[in-house]
Structure 1
Amino acid sequence: MRLLFIGDIVGRAGRTALIHRLPALRARWRLDFVVVNGENAAGGFGITETICEECLAAGVDAITLGNHAFDQREALVFIERQPRLIRPANYPAGTPGRGANVFETAAGARVLVINLLGRVFMDALDDPFQRIEQELSACPLGIGCDASVVDFHAEATSEKQAFGLFVDGRVSLVVGTHTHVPSADARILSGGSGFITEVGMTGDYDSVIGMDKEEPLRRFTRRIPSSRFEPAGGEATLCGVAVETGADGLARRIAPLRLGGALCPAEPDFWND
């Protein structure tokens, strides 16, 4: 199966890059399933129903979230009727929406998508390690699903790497999100799971993690906020990671994806045949 995960969509620049590039990528690489993190899609904070529908119409199969999941209050309502929008599974019981779901591809394969929040340097939610055990027990790879993708939305690289090792051999792909700067360690772990510590954002990199640089610079140098953070509006780099799985659902090939904008380009060469 051919899977693509696209990193945090930041503001209009990120949405534009996704909507313009994804249809061609799906057709060119004959992608089976696409997951996108959309928690910064609406002005850098949260997601709206209109933006969610725009992403799905562009060819996204599932949208994961993070610590900004409910910054747009309408998300508390529409997430209940949108099964393709996945919020972190370790939010407290009773939180609207779902933390995991199984989707069927056009070819009939089943893909499990799980979203979790880390706890180091972030709001302390339920234990993500315990929660992933529950989700994987309920839907084991090769039995309940043919492939599985986990978005671990976390700050600390140590926590992300520990989490990847914890689920290695039991999921197809573990992707770190949240810190917006892509790491250079896309690889297949010893147990067969694809992994990257941080996939990076889809946004304007002439910025401070996607935000227009003037206000962050003022806050760092003067220690006094003077205005709201606003997403940078220049050309975005679309960042992601591509994985091909085998019959057992584990990763066989993995490569980073970077298209457009300020970063050095990269794309998988194993689908260009």
Structure 2
Amino acid sequence: MADTISIFFVGDIVGDPGIEMTNTFLPSLIKKYDADFVIANAENSHEGFGTNRKIIKNLLNLGVNVVTGGDHSFDKWKVFDYMREHDHILRPLNYPKGNAGLGFSIHEVPKKNVKVGVLNLQGRTFMKAIDDPFSTAEWALEKMREETHIIFVDFHAEATAEKISMGWHLDGKASVMVGTHTHVQTNDARIYPQGLGYLTDAGMTGSTNGVIGMDKKVAIKRFMTGVHQKYQPASGDNQLCGAFAKVDIETGKCVHIEPVTYPGLNNSATD
């Protein structure tokens, strides 16, 4: 059997409930899945918007190798200097030049004697008007493949069609592409013809007793009034969502991918 590298991905960590779930269960899940490399999206980890140094360092201590971001990566300016200094914290590469941080990085995995590349991109449909993620991906992958053919992509996007299109675009160029941002896990994990492991959205790590991790009363009021209300993270019925993939070390092709949900949705009512 071909030698593989196991990659575990934690979907959008939302506020304190998401951090609590990650602190409590990630180490055991890493052990359960025998993960060689761990990635976590933490763009919603600080109060539901953005992240900070303390959270990043905590994730590293839990076994996370790379922290990815999205449209809230720049919400907390105090983390900008940290983003400039370290390659284990990423933000979407296709933001205009001049912004803090890196959009991709490559990391050694001594246990497997290989390198893993991680690329963070953001979609444009129903989102901010930033640079084209498709051409950005082409440029980045060409650079990354000079060092490794094991490449994981976190595509932070709203539209399912844009994510699926990106999957086809990356097939044969990357190993795994997992979507983030919608906070609702999809059940469409598959392997594309040329070996890309694909999942439209990994879901979120946080409270399901709300609206995509946020207080449901505020969310309902926003929809009913059409007026901005400040969101606060919800609490209760917490879960950890993500994805698990295995990649053939020799070819860089994905041989297994599945969504992960722990402990699963609670079907009982919560006040």
Do they fold alike, i.e. is TM over 0.5?
yes
Q: Which residue of the partner structure matches residue 85 of structure 2?
A: 81
Q: Distance in 2 between matches of 1:259 and 1:109?
A: 29
Q: Which residue of the partner structure matches residue 50 of structure 1?
A: 54
Bigger shift: residues 127-136 or 230-239: 230-239
Residues 41 and 69, structure 2, Cα contact 8 Å, conserved in 1: yes
In the TM superposition, what whole-angstrom CA distance separates every residue of 1:8-51 from its partner, at most 9, and x where no partner exists?
00000011111111111222322110111100000110001111
Residues 202 and 236, structure 1, Cα contact 8 Å, conserved in 2: yes
Residues 235 and 260, structure 1, Cα contact 8 Å, conserved in 2: no
Q: Distance in 2 between matches of 1:18 and 1:147?
A: 25
Q: Distance in 1 between matches of 2:237 and 2:66?
A: 24
Residues 44 and 72, structure 2, Cα contact 8 Å, conserved in 1: yes
Aligned ranges 1:58-97 → 2 under 5 Å: 58-97=62-101
Q: Distance in 1 between matches of 2:134 and 2:39?
A: 21
Counterpart amino acid of 2:210?
Answer: S
Return closer, same or farther for 1:16/1:224 CA change in 2, 3 Å cut-off. same
Corresponding residue to 2:193 among 190, 194, 206? 190
User: Is residue 252 of structure 2 the alignment partner of residue 262 of structure 1?
Assistant: no
Aligned ranges 1:1-273 → 2 under 5 Å: 1-107=5-111, 108-140=113-145, 144-225=147-228, 227-246=229-248, 247-260=250-263, 262=265
Q: Distance in 1 between matches of 2:227 and 2:72?
A: 23
Counterpart amino acid of 2:154?
Answer: D
Residues 204 and 261, structure 1, Cα contact 8 Å, conserved in 2: no
Q: Distance in 2 between matches of 1:55 and 1:173?
A: 21
Shift of 1:167: 0.6
Shift of 1:82: 2.2
Shift of 1:146: 4.4
Q: TM-score, normalised by structure 2?
A: 0.93
Residues 109 and 116, structure 2, Cα contact 8 Å, conserved in 1: yes
Q: Percent of counterpart pairs with the same letter? A: 39
In the TM superposition, what whole-angstrom CA distance separates every residue of 1:198-223 from its partner, at most 9, and x where no partner exists?
11111111111100101011111233
Residues 237 and 263, structure 1, Cα contact 8 Å, conserved in 2: no
Counterpart amino acid of 2:24?
Answer: H
Residues 93 and 136, structure 2, Cα contact 8 Å, conserved in 1: yes
Counterpart amino acid of 2:139?
Answer: Q
Shift of 1:245: 1.0
Secondary structure, aligned partner of 1:86: coil
Q: Distance in 2 between matches of 1:146 and 1:118?
A: 23
- Cα RMSD for the two superposed structures: 1.4
Q: Distance in 2 between matches of 1:146 and 1:122?
A: 30
Runs in 1 of length 4+ with deviation above 6 angstroms?
none
Return closer, same or farther for 1:230/1:103 CA change in 2, 3 Å cut-off. same
In the TM superposition, what whole-angstrom CA distance separates every residue of 1:142-180 from its partner, at most 9, and x where no partner exists?
x52141100110111000000010010111100111011
Q: TM-score, normalised by structure 1?
A: 0.92
* Aligned pairs, number: 261
Q: Distance in 2 between matches of 1:175 and 1:96?
A: 23
Q: Distance in 1 between matches of 2:158 and 2:63?
A: 28
Q: Distance in 2 between matches of 1:199 and 1:2?
A: 16
Residues 209 and 235, structure 2, Cα contact 8 Å, conserved in 1: no
Shift of 1:75: 1.8
In the TM superposition, what whole-angstrom CA distance separates every residue of 1:77-98 from its partner, at most 9, and x where no partner exists?
2111222001110111121111
Secondary structure, aligned partner of 1:74: helix
Secondary structure, aligned partner of 2:241: strand
